[in-house]
Structure 1
Amino acid sequence: MGPETGRDASSGVRPDWATIPNGITLIRLILLVPAGWLIAAEHFGWPLLVLVALWAYTDWIDGWLARRFGWQSRTGEILDPVADRLGIAVVATALAWAGLVPWPVVLIVVIVDLLVVVLAGRAAASGALTVSLAGKARSFVLFTGLVTAVAAGGFEPAWLLPGAHALLWTGAALHIIAGVLYIVAARRSTGQASGSL
């Protein structure tokens, strides 16, 4: 095994999961609990806005740290997309119940994610897929749309909510594009692997 996989502390090799970026990703997952509860209880305001914004925008911090200091890990490659996909589904669904996010947007996100898991999950788990530009743009637009929807719930819905919906519909369209690209890339990698046998 190489150093990047890690085995145990006694060997002096850092375990694969024991990195600062993975710690940040775990915190992002934990933040979904109070954020979801506050949305469900309709406690909109600064605390909820800060929680959702931290969950959304720390996504780039853990990625930057991993690249900058060589802290990439297989655990992080799996955990980070889970924090993104699960977080978007949870926050968007809760906000849809509160009447702040269109239900069709939630359905598009969930259905595309399920299709990607079924049709490209094996390739993603093997490390054959990389994040596309469409995927990065999709995440940023959806994150910003959700944060704006939370702000609309607590402050100025009359002018913030239309902007949030525009961002969310744009993000949903990008989500479809990114999903198709991941599925095509997965099919291609599977075909190449089969051809090399």
Structure 2
Amino acid sequence: MTRRATGVDTDRKFTVPNALSALRLCGVPLLLWLILGPQADVLAVVVLALSGITDWLDGWIARRWHQRSRLGQVLDPLADRLYILATILGLALRDLIPWWLVLALVARDLLMAALVPLLRTRGYTTLPVHFLGKAATFCLLYAFPLILLGAAPEPWAVVARVLGWAFALWGTGLYWYAALLYVHQAYALVRSAPRGRAGDGG
């Protein structure tokens, strides 16, 4: 399988997109502290916004400068999921969202993690990111800042809360639908590739 077919341009680990992804990861504990410690909701939303901008920027640079890498394929979705996890834990601990929503999102990620050992038997480490998966992540990354802002006592907070829940429900549905597509994709790879194949990574 060629690098182009797997969406990889380079085997280098130290690239600008990977550095931006690492920087995003450093913001996860800061975000959780802002939500639970001083409950500085506006600053927490600013951190999430900067994370979103950085996410777009590292993807744009990776494509523009031909710096898409295997490490980047791991770091980028990992950062997305950690931001979602930190945000939903913070919101649940503050009783702003129900715990069933947390369990639904965590269960989906556990399902995806369970696919990794199976893929490794065929020489793959990850699956290509699906458009629906990115759309679901986009919805969730918009949903929780809006729900967070919706906790304010001001009248406009009601609008933020309604929009936030709309994004949250749509995002959760898409998140699981994308997971089922990934399961189907993994099943197809396992059936088509012989055991122990030294693949290039999905």
Same fold by TM (over 0.5)?
yes
**Residue type at the aligned position of 2:135:** A
Task: Identify which of 69, 82, 85 aligns with 1:86.
Answer: 82
- Pairwise CA distance, 1:195: 8.2
Contact 1:21–1:63 at 8 Å: present in 2 too?
yes
Question: Which residue number in structure 2 is paired with residue 184 of structure 1?
Answer: 184
Q: Give, in whole Å, the separation in 2 of the partners of 1:17 and 1:183.
A: 28
More helix by share: 1
What CA distance in whole angstroms lies between the structure 1 residues aligned with 2:139 and 2:99? 17
Identity among equivalent positions (%) equals 31
Cα distance in 2 for residues equivalent to 1:23 and 1:196:
32
1:141 CA drift (Å): 0.4
Decide whether aligned partners of structure 1 residues 196 and 36 sit closer, same or farther in structure 2, where only a CA change above 3 A counts.
Answer: closer
Deviation at 1:56, TM superposition (A): 3.1
Shift of 1:104: 2.0
- Which of 121, 124, 132 aligns to 1:134? It is 132
What pairs up with 1:9-158 in 2 under 5 angstroms?
16-120=12-116, 122-123=118-119, 126=124, 129-154=127-152, 156-158=156-158
Structure 2 gaps of 5+ residues are 4-8, 198-202
Residues 116-152 of structure 1: per-residue CA shift (max 9 Å, x gap): 1102455388256211121111011011102212322
Distance 2:15 2:118 in 1: 25
SS at match of 1:33: helix
For these two proteins, the number of residue pairs brought into alignment is 186
TM-score between the two structures when normalised by the length of structure 2: 0.82
Structure 2 CA distance for aligned equivalents of residues 92 and 158 of structure 1: 19
> Aligned partner of 1:133: which letter?
F
Deviation at 1:98, TM superposition (A): 1.5
Structure 1 gaps of 5+ residues are: 6-15
TM-score (norm 1): 0.84
Q: Quote the residue 2:10 is aligned against.
A: 4
SS at match of 2:79: helix
Structure 1: which 4+ aligned runs deviate by more than 6 Å?
none
Q: Distance in 2 between matches of 1:148 and 1:4?
A: 37
Between the aligned partners of 2:118 and 2:40, the Cα distance in structure 1 is 39
3-state DSSP class of the match of 2:128? coil
Contact 2:116–2:125 at 8 Å: present in 1 too?
Answer: no
> Residue 178 of structure 2 aligns to which amino acid in structure 1?
A
Q: Which of 101-110 and 73-82 deviates more?
A: 101-110
Structure-2 separation of matches of 1:175 and 1:188: 20
Verify the 8 A CA contact 1:93 1:106 in the aligned structure 2. Answer: yes
